[in-house]
Amino acid sequence: MHMKRKQIVFTGVGCAELQEVAMLRAGDDDVLVANDVSAISAGTERACLLDLPNLGDEPQGCFPKTLGYSCVGRVIEVTGQSIAMKQALALTAPSGRIALLGCTRVSDASIDYYQDVHRPGIEMIGAHTMSRPKLESRPHSWTWRDDARAILDYMSDGRLDMSQIVSTLYSPLESSAVYAALAKNENFPVGAVFDWNQLK
């Protein structure tokens, strides 16, 4: 299978993931696809602003048609759903990596670990924030302070444009209504941010 190490697929699109896409772009990585089952989500609209194609809910079937080949070297699984994890494995090239960003607490889809992980040599990385080092960074594992510094550096030199990620600004005084909408609306827009300057 054809694989390019710099190319990445995201399974799941939220505000945090769009920020990660922008960060990876700022670091010269080639993020190809954001895949989300909710085609009408604001995440999809934001992804379009980042020139990020969306595969809808059929990633494996659309992938070769959209990109010209069937798998990539790096996949970031965001949803935490077992079925998405299974699809992510199918999109990962031999010797590729999957970062498990979503919390897969319910195992409701069977995975053949020999055929899908062991035999192709897939590297699976648990990306829980509690696993990051607290004081000293090491290769591919950075402290929160180092990550924050990188984000601020990217913003200051113009490589990270947050206006492409933030979709709606709310006053903190609207928090009750915002959280009520978040609880009731399954397609609540990603990129909603409280603007604390509105309290001044």
Give kind and range of the element (H or E) at residue 100: strand 92-100
Together in a domain, 13 and 96: yes
Domains in the chain: how many in total? 2
Together in a domain, 56 and 141: yes
Q: Is 130 left (phi over 0), alpha (psi -120 to 50) or beta?
A: alpha
- Residue 101 counted as domain residue: yes
Together in a domain, 95 and 177: no
Q: Is the pLDDT assigned to residue 86 strictly greater than 50?
A: yes
Together in a domain, 114 and 178: no
Together in a domain, 194 and 135: no
What is the 3-state composition of the chain as percent helix, strand, coil, each rounded to the nearest 5?
40, 20, 40
Together in a domain, 189 and 133: no
Together in a domain, 17 and 68: yes
- Residue 184 counted as domain residue: yes
Domain that holds residue 180: 170-199
What pLDDT is recorded for position 106? 74
Q: Is the pLDDT assigned to residue 20 strictly greater than 80?
A: no
Residue with tokens 């895949």: 35
Weakest mean pLDDT among 51-55, 82-86, 93-97, 157-161: 51-55
Together in a domain, 86 and 113: yes
- Residue 1 counted as domain residue: no
What pLDDT is recorded for position 18? 66
- Residue 58 counted as domain residue: yes
Together in a domain, 161 and 112: yes
Together in a domain, 98 and 154: yes
- Residue 2 counted as domain residue: no
Q: Is the pLDDT assigned to residue 98 strictly greater than 80?
A: yes
Distance CA 113, CA 115 (A): 6
- Residue 52 counted as domain residue: yes
Together in a domain, 61 and 28: yes
Mean pLDDT of the chain: 74
User: What pLDDT, in 10s, does the model give residues 21-71?
Assistant: 677 766 666 655 656 555 434 444 444 444 544 444 444 444 444 454 457
Q: Is the pLDDT assigned to residue 82 strictly greater than 80?
A: yes
User: What pLDDT, in 10s, does the model give residues 110-130?
Assistant: 888 899 999 999 999 888 888
User: What pLDDT, in 10s, does the model give residues 135-186?
Assistant: 898 887 889 899 889 889 988 988 888 777 787 899 999 999 999 998 998 7
Could you tell me the pTM of the whole model? 0.64
Together in a domain, 184 and 128: no
